[in-house]
């Protein structure tokens, strides 16, 4: 079976001999390689979604995992063993992703680390010439999304971001219906996530770093703080140093489809309010209750989240509601339906009962990624441009929350109008020796 590395080496030799190397476009290599190309990946961050992504990758034909990198040796050992069961041989283990990226056998990098690490690891991987599947949100700040987009363009890497609803058929069917115009004028879009299974994160004292954990590397560019178990695996999501809370964790999935349905980019303005109303004394920093209101040309978009309860809109814990003059289309991971408006006891449009989803979004998303690697003329379903725009919109809601006022946004310049304080929140300060990347 031909690997991509060997094929490109052979093609380069042949093309050079024929004088064709300078005239053969890069994107044609994928078309030439064909179905028997074997793609080999390396995984950075294997504890949560990173491993789910790897499983989806390895479920596709002609794939393999050569390496796994994690700063927690306990996680690393477990995931190496899990991967051996899947593919029949052990991937090599790394604790430093930079060393893993030196591995010439790796074609694809999957990034499953906490949000604050995405930008650096993405840029390093792009510089190494790897195609990249990066977990959502794309980055932990607006400025990071910009530099990642620049890296993708400069180094010509295929990028898929883990907003897998972009590949889920029923979500796309819902947007097709929205675009049909049958809902009439859409005046507002509701987006929400109410997650009853997520509870309070207890306040715990700082503790010694667990055996096998390289905590300094886990922190990376984030501020140096003592180890605390409440800020570590999974619950890092609720601390500003590492993530953006529910707004960016679930928000990029849900807000993304609001933007998709409305063909929208950045808002004109945004305001947000909320707080730690349900669990005021727990360890979390990000709000357990939050609303953000975005102004676009011709419509508004509302984001609304609640942790610890399931009281979402239309009887759903999460979803998007496109509110039109003729009816409202509601879509979540279970399916979509249309609820008509009534005037004089007559429906303005036909009701559409629930159109159920397949639940295969992640698998289809990974297949789309691999297809785009093999045929580089294709565009990934959740390209870096799509994911960057959605991440920025979510982060704007958090910046508005932190400032406590209405902010006016210049989407072309990617900065707020006449607001130095808000603009200072668009870019993180990296802890030495890590440096904010330039491309």
Is 252 in the same domain as 331?
A: yes
Return d(Cα 11, Cα 375) in angstroms, integer. Answer: 16
Phi, psi of 215 (to 5 degrees): -70, -35
Q: What is the pLDDT of residue 196?
A: 95
Provide the CB-side half-sphere exposure for 214 (13 A, CA). 13
Looking at the structure, tell me whether residues 31 and 160 fall in a common domain: yes
309 domain-assigned: yes
Q: 194-206, pLDDT tens digit by residue?
A: 999 998 999 999 9
Residue 438 domain-assigned?
A: no
Asked if the structure places residue 346 within a domain, the reply is yes
Q: What pLDDT is attached to residue 72?
A: 98
The domain total for the chain is: 2
Distance CA 251, CA 259 (A): 12
Q: What is the pLDDT of residues 253-293, one digit of tens each?
A: 999 999 999 999 999 999 999 999 999 999 999 999 999 99
Strand pairing class (299-307; 186-195): parallel
The Cβ of residue 374 has, within 10 Å, a number of other Cβ atoms equal to 19
Is 117 domain-assigned?
Answer: yes
When comparing pLDDT for 20 and 43, which is higher? Answer: 43
Same domain, 202 and 336: yes
Q: Which residues contact 56 (CB under 8 A, 6 or more apart)?
A: 362, 363, 365, 366
Q: Residue 118 corresponds to which tokens in the numbers above?
A: 């995405």
Considering the chain, what percentage of its residues have pLDDT values greater than 90?
91
Distance CA 131, CA 109 (A): 6
- Per the prediction, the chain carries an average pLDDT of 93
- Residue 135, in any domain of the structure: yes
CB 114 within 8 A of CB 89: no
- Residue 192: pLDDT over 50: yes
This prediction has a pTM of 0.91
Backbone phi and psi for residue 263, each to the nearest 5 degrees, phi listed first: 50, 45
Distances (CA, A) of 113 to 49, 242, 305, 404: 9, 10, 24, 30
Establish if 430 belongs to a structural domain. no
Assess whether 274 and 371 both reside in one domain. no
Residues 58-70, mean pLDDT to the nearest whole number: 98
Residue 367 reports pLDDT greater than 70: yes
pLDDT of residue 25: 38
415 shares a domain with 300: yes
- The runs of H, that is alpha helices, within 42-168 are 49-58, 73-87, 97-101, 118-127, 142-155
To 5 degrees, how large is the angle CA 224–CA 227–CA 233? 110
Q: Is the pLDDT of residue 193 over 70?
A: yes
Written as one string, the DSSP assignment of 364-378 is HHHHHHHHHHHSTTS
When comparing pLDDT for 13 and 389, which is higher?
Answer: 389
Could you give the angle at the alpha carbon of 338 between the alpha carbons of 333 and 344, nearest 5°? 155
Same domain? 308 vs 408: yes
Output the domain CATH number for residue 187.
3.30.360.10
pLDDT(122) > 50:
yes
Q: 69 and 90, same structural domain?
A: yes
The answer to whether residue 20 scores a pLDDT higher than 90 is no
pLDDT at 150 over 50: yes
Residue 416 above 50 pLDDT? yes
pLDDT in tens, 21-38: 333 333 344 434 455 689
Mean pLDDT across 144-152: 98
What is the percentage of the chain residues whose pLDDT exceeds 70? 92
Whole-number pLDDT of residue 7: 45
DSSP letter assigned to residue 140: S
Determine the pLDDT at residue 358. 87
Residues 240 and 212 in one domain: yes
* Sign of the CA dihedral with 219 first, then 163, 122, and 6 last: positive
Q: Are residues 123 and 207 in the same domain?
A: no
**Range(s) of the domain holding residue 113:** 4-166+367-384
φ/ψ (deg, to 5) at 36: -90, 5
Check whether residue 161 and residue 176 sit in a common domain: no
Token pair in block for residue 143: 């400025």
The CATH number linked to 32 is 3.40.50.720
Token duo for residue 19: 């004088």
Q: How confident is the model at residue 224 (pLDDT cuts 50, 70, 90)?
A: very high
Would 432 be classed as within a structural domain? no
Verify that 263 and 135 share a domain, yes or no.
Answer: no
168 CB-near residues (< 8 Å, 6+ apart): 333, 357, 358, 360, 361, 364, 365
Domain identity same for 187 and 305: yes
pLDDT tops 60 at residue 6: no
In a domain, residue 18? The reply is: yes
Contact 408, 265 (CB under 8 A): no
At residue 175, the pLDDT reads: 98
Confidence band, pLDDT 50/70/90 cuts, at residue 3 = very low
- Res. 149: pLDDT tops 70: yes
């Amino acid at each position: 079976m031909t690997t991509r590395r060997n094929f490109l080496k052979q093609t380069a030799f042949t093309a050079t001999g024929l004088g064709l190397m300078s005239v053969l476009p890069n994107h044609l290599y994928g078309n030439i390689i064909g179905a028997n190309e074997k793609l080999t990946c390396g995984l950075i961050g294997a504890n949560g979604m990173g491993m789910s992504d790897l499983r989806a990758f390895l479920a596709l034909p002609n794939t393999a995992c050569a390496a796994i990198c994690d700063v927690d040796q306990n996680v690393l050992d477990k995931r190496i063993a899990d991967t051996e069961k899947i593919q029949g041989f052990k991937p090599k283990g790394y604790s430093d992703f930079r060393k893993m990226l030196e591995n010439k056998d790796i074609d694809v990098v999957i990034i499953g680390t906490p949000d604050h690490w995405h930008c650096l690891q993405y840029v390093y991987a792009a510089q190494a010439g790897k195609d990249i599947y990066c977990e959502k949100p794309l980055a932990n700040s607006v400025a990071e999304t910009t530099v990642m987009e620049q890296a993708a363009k400069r180094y010509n890497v295929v990028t898929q971001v883990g907003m897998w609803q972009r590949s889920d058929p029923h979500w796309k069917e819902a947007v097709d219906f929205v675009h049909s115009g049958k809902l009439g004028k859409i005046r507002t879009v509701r987006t929400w996530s109410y997650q009853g299974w997520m509870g309070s994160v207890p306040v715990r004292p700082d503790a010694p770093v667990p055996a096998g954990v390289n905590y300094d590397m886990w922190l990376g560019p984030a501020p140096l703080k003592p180890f605390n178990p409440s800020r570590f695996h999974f619950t890092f999501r609720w601390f500003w140093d590492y993530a953006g809370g529910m707004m960016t964790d679930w928000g990029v999935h849900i807000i993304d489809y609001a933007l998709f349905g409305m063909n929208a980019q950045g808002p004109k303005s945004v305001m947000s309010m909320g707080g730690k109303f349900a669990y005021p004394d727990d360890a979390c920093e990000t709000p357990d209750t939050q609303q953000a209101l975005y102004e676009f040309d011709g419509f508004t978009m509302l984001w609304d989240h609640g942790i610890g309860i399931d009281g979402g809109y239309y009887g759903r814990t999460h979803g998007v509601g496109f509110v039109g003059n003729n009816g409202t289309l509601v879509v979540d991971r279970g399916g979509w339906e249309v609820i008509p408006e009534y005037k004089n006891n007559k429906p303005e449009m036909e009701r559409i009962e629930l159109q159920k989803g397949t639940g295969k979004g992640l698998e289809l998303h990974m297949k789309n990624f691999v297809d785009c690697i093999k045929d580089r003329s294709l565009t990934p379903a959740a390209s870096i441009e799509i994911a960057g725009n959605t991440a920025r919109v979510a982060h704007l809601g958090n910046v508005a929350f932190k400032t406590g006022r209405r902010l006016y946004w210049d989407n072309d310049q990617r900065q707020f109008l006449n607001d130095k304080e808000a603009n200072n929140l668009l870019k993180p300060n990296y802890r030495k020796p890590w440096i904010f990347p330039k491309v």
